[in-house]
Amino acid sequence: MSFTVTLSAASGSSVSVNYASANGTAGSGDFTAVSGALTFSAGQTSKSISVSTKQDSQIEANERFYINLSNPVGATIADSQGVGTILDDDDDPMCGDFFC
């Protein structure tokens, strides 16, 4: 899953921001936690954060996790949280193609 962090306008100097994933209804068994810092060079306006999701065979609802931004340098944060939704792809054999 990919999250794009975008500056509202290009900056004449470098900009950085920290990021970290956080559990929601999805936990450590559903995705690989990430953290780090993004550094935008002068003139650069977007960067990506990749998160690997994990396959399981549990029958469950769609689950969410978050990417939180913090500690900006050279900018302010307008929206500090991104939401990732992991869609359940496991069928309940008792229900076939129908919801139980």
pLDDT tens-digit readout, 19-72 = 999 999 999 899 999 999 999 999 999 999 999 999 877 777 899 999 999 999
CATH assignment of 2-86, given 3.40.50.12240, 2.40.30.330, 3.90.870.10, 2.60.40.2030?
A: 2.60.40.2030
Query: What is the pLDDT confidence band of residue 79, given thresholds at 50, 70 and 90?
Result: very high
* Token reading at 67: 């990417």
Q: What is the pTM of this model?
A: 0.85
Contacts of 99 (CB under 8 A, 6+ apart): none
